[in-house]
Structure 1
Amino acid sequence: MNLDWALFRALNGLAGRWLLVDRIVQFLMNDYALTTALSALLVALWFRGRTRKEREADQAAVVHTLVALILASAVLKGLNLLFFRLRPFTAHEVNLLFYHPSDSSLPSNAATVSFVFAVGVLQRSRTLGLVGIALGLILGLSRVIGGVHYPLDIVAGAVLGGGAVLLVRRYCRVLAPLVRGVRWLAGRLLLA
């Protein structure tokens, strides 16, 4: 038995035992709860800086994170077109606590987005970034317990999301005109 399947069985075996635990997992694994919280971390980062220089750097990190989200989403879509992995509930009898997504299980869309946000915020704020990573891990764990992903799907999504942020950060100078444009527009809207 491979490690991915063994971990999945152990974690998914927690589902269906206690109604309260199932309800908590269902809340945590939905498409909005933790993703909204992770989005709030980006908003907090946008307004966080105490000095003009800090705010400019934080706001640039937010723009870079959004560019990384676009990059990660494009790569994820390409991977889904090239490689399709059945969801656990399609391939096996599992304790399913969620609706039946029909796209590829690998890499996890939710983990990819979560770790783009978490690692993007981590670039400027250790505290907010660690909160983001914790939220991403909770989301990933709940999706395995809930039967819609294997552990490797979550790891692959985390690597893709975090890797996209690091790649964009490496070439962030190219994005300077975009950052200036977004900050200019935000300033006109009294948001910067």
Structure 2
Amino acid sequence: MDDGMGEDAFRQLLLREEDLEESFFGEEPSAAYDPVFVSGDESGRALVDLTNMLTHGSHPDTTHHASALFTNIVGSVVFHHVARFAGGSCRQVYQEFSDAVRACARYRMELNDGVQLDITRTGLEPVALGDGGFLARWSSTVDHFRIETAWAIVRKGGVLTFVNVRIPDESEVHRLARVAVDRVAELTGTS
């Protein structure tokens, strides 16, 4: 479906500071770009490759993509990415994500600032949003620090929504995913 939505209009699908319940400020999303797979489950490599592909819009069927990154002074993070795909590619990319998350128990990756994280999946559950969605919970450790992270990945029409949060309130990822998917439905006219 082509709704004539240009890049600027597509960016309106992103979460905004006023959508967040805590005091966050927006940052240049490239701060979250380009993690590198170091070791572990091969499905972890697939997850790193998929998130990088979404961030850069490098899938050959990507027609639009946009990212937003929010942080606050206590270290909470919200990273939101949306991508529109032509044809049936959104369903295919969603399935690749789902398969890789289900297969992945743990992996190690390196962020673009050189920090390496050991990542372990701690939970996986469906979410009743869009045309298919799931929530994955992860525990990331670096040295003696442990960070709890959650991903919500939802397909709505030809748009894939990826919400990655590091927030103490476990229910917040559900709320943010609902806001994001409702915005996709509202602005693209998908029911």
TM exceeding 0.5: no
**Larger helix share, 1 or 2:** 1
TM-score, structure 1 as length reference: 0.31
TM-score, structure 2 as length reference: 0.31
**Larger strand share, 1 or 2:** 2
Q: For CA contacts below 8 A with separation 6 or more, give which structure has more relative contact order.
A: 1
Larger Rg belongs to: 1
